[in-house]
Amino acid sequence: MTPHTVYLDNAATTFPKPAVVLTEVNDCIRRYCGNPGRGSHPLAMSSAERIFECRTAAAELLGGDAPENIIFTMNTTYAINLLLKGLLRHGDHVLISDLEHNSVFRPIWKLAHDGVIEYDVFPSMCGQQNASPVRICAGIARRIKPNTRLVICTHASNLCSYSLPIAEIGAFCHRHGILFAVDAAQSAGHLPLHMKQMNIDALAAPGHKGLYGIQGVGILALSDAVPLSTVIEGGNGLLSLEGNMPEQPPERYESGTLPTPSIAGLLRGIETVSTLGLPKIAAHEEQLFFRAREYLSSQKTVTVHAPEYAGATLLFSVDGIPSERLAAELGRRGICVRGGYHCSALGHATLKTPPDGAVRISFGIFNTTSDIDCFSAALSDILA
Amino acid sequence: MKQCTAALGSLTYAIKAQRALAEAGVHSEIVKLDSSMTRRGCSYGVEYSCSDQRSVRAVMSAEKITVTGYINGGGGSLL
């Protein structure tokens, strides 16, 4: 980054990364990065130990069953695909929310298009004054069918700072014998998560966003109640004489070499988040949100979408300026933001953004109020 | 001292078992089991003093670690 760059695209990936993350990734590559579970030599074992430590830290942070139920994937999208395509069977019915990212919507759409499943969309009630967990669960209840097998929804929107009441939805699903999965792409490291207490059967999360690891690793956390068919098969150092994949997680779902440096970095990222604490992180993000919202609300041509929800993500549009052009103009002034549709046609339709989408700014632990002031000055320059 | 081995489903379970045993005061080594011991190809286990057998079984049960077999004597390659 140049000295004049302000990074406000943390919902896409957090930047920069904590020094401890960079140090661990560097140490891993330089000192101990053998192939975990392949050889019987010290470097392979050192890698395997570090990966196990990351599984343990992730399970603790997410309130999961056990470290062996933490499966490492390439990213959140792969985790969700692994879940959906390993779980769903012909004739199943699935419910998703109207805020879903394409990481959920597209695999669901494909499975439905191929005639494997059917699905319906339930209202998140984002932006509605009478929104409540009871009403949201009632919306789910109205759409349940005898063959409804799974409810999967985002926890926090990737467009604004609205979050779904996943604890209440999880309890509702389990009362009705339905599995419940959560896309925690925008909430892991921001909002409290506890799989057991929230009745979450499966949870997908990125390593490189709110958990401050580097790109290249995502998480699928499973409860004991969710055995999946494999989607990817191949070598993993176990039972090499057999055609079948091993029965037990995590290796059952982890074919091919794991990204040990990314996972080692993720361990330090999770430790960073745990040390700071979610309340402190949330308070910091809300402070930045309020400062940005105050400025944007003072601009006559600016619309802030879902402004009532404070958090790590803020969405706005400007009359007469297409979102991608506005994002590019901010980029020329050193402000890193994202325009367009943010891979969520469902979410943009729900928020009723302009036809060309909107601009998203998103905050992280390294942002300061002066970053918001730089952003405000740059936008004022564009609007002048 | 006579060594015994608990065969486990994966390296992940072997690391988990070793750490759980250490917390219970039982020293163990992770070993890679050869195909003659598993008949299924590469697998892992933990090797420990046979005098700790009762403690090992208790820890495995408490931690819900599935043991695919207890083998009297060592035989795995020490990692």
| Mutation for testing the A interface, residue in B11, B19, B63, B79 having most A CBs under 10 Å | B11
Q: Where are the beta strands (DSSP E) in A192-275?
A: 202-206, 218-222
Residue range A306-321: mean pLDDT, rounded: 97
Tell me which residues of chain A have a C-beta less than 8 Å from any C-beta of chain B. 36-37, 40-42, 45, 48-49, 52, 55, 66-68, 237-242, 246-248, 250-251
**Contacts A–B by Cβ distance under 8 A:** 61
Q: Token pair of A114, please?
A: 């191929």
The answer to whether the beta carbons of residues A347 and A357 sit under 8 Å apart is no
Q: What share of chain A is helix, strand, coil (3-state, %, to 5)?
A: 40, 15, 45
**pLDDT of A183:** 98
- If you average pLDDT over residues A213-240, what whole number do you get? 93
Facing residue for A246 by CB, picked from B9, B16, B39: B9
Residues A243-261 pLDDT 10s: 899 989 999 999 999 999 9
Question: In whole angstroms, what is the distance from residue A23 CA to residue A323 CA?
Answer: 37
Q: What pLDDT score does B42 carry?
A: 75
Q: How far is A253 from chain B (nearest CA, A)?
A: 12
Confidence of residue A204 (pLDDT cuts 50, 70, 90): very high
pLDDT value of residue A234: 94
For residue B33, the model assigns a pLDDT of 87
pLDDT at B79: 41
Mean pLDDT of A157-177: 98
B79 contacts A45? CB cut-off 8 A: yes
Q: What is the ipTM of this complex?
A: 0.86
Q: What is the CA A243 to chain-centroid distance, rounded?
A: 34
The predicted structure's pLDDT at residue A227: 85
Nearest residue in chain A measured CA to CA from B36: A241
Asked whether residue B78 carries a pLDDT value surpassing 50, the answer given is no
Mutate to test the interface with A, among B8, B12, B33, B60 (most CBs of A within 10 A): B12
- Please tell me whether residue A302 adopts helix, strand or coil conformation: strand
B77 pLDDT above the threshold of 60: no
Rounded to an integer, the average pLDDT of A49-57 is: 98
Answer yes or no: is pLDDT of A167 > 60. yes
Q: Do A37 and B10 touch (CB under 8 A)?
A: yes
Q: How far is residue A255's CA from residue A299's CA, in Å, rounded to a whole number?
A: 52
Contacts of A40 in chain B (CB under 8 A): 32, 77, 79
pLDDT over 90 at A346, yes or no: yes
Contact yes or no for A238 and B41 at CB 8 A: yes
> Please, where are the H alpha helices in A2-90?
19-27, 42-62, 76-87
Quote the crossing angle between the two packed helices A260-276 and A42-62, to the nearest 10°. 40
| Average pLDDT for A11-16 | 98
Please compute Rg for chain B using Cα positions: 11
Q: What is the pLDDT of residues A268-294, one digit of tens each?
A: 999 999 999 999 999 999 999 999 999
Residues B36-63 have pLDDT tens digits of: 666 666 789 999 999 999 999 999 999 9
Q: Distance between CA atoms of A277 and A190, rounded to whole angstroms?
A: 9
Q: For residue B37, what pLDDT is reported?
A: 67
Take residue A144 and report the two structure tokens written for it: 């349940």
Whether the ω angle into residue A250 lies within 30 degrees of 0, i.e. cis, is yes
> Which of A239, A251, A255 is the best mutation test for B, with the most CBs of B within 10 A?
A239
- The answer to whether the CB of A20 falls within 8 A of the CB of A181 is no
Minimal-distance CA residue of chain B relative to A250: B12
Residue with more model confidence, A291 or A238: A291
Q: What is the pLDDT of residues A122-155, one digit of tens each?
A: 999 999 999 999 999 999 999 999 999 999 999 9
Average pLDDT over residues A344-367: 97
Q: Yes or no: say if A183 and A217 are a contact pair by the CB < 8 Å rule.
A: no
Q: What is the model's pLDDT at position A236? A: 86
Task: Identify the pLDDT of residue A2.
Answer: 54
Q: Does the pLDDT of residue A231 top 70, yes or no?
A: yes
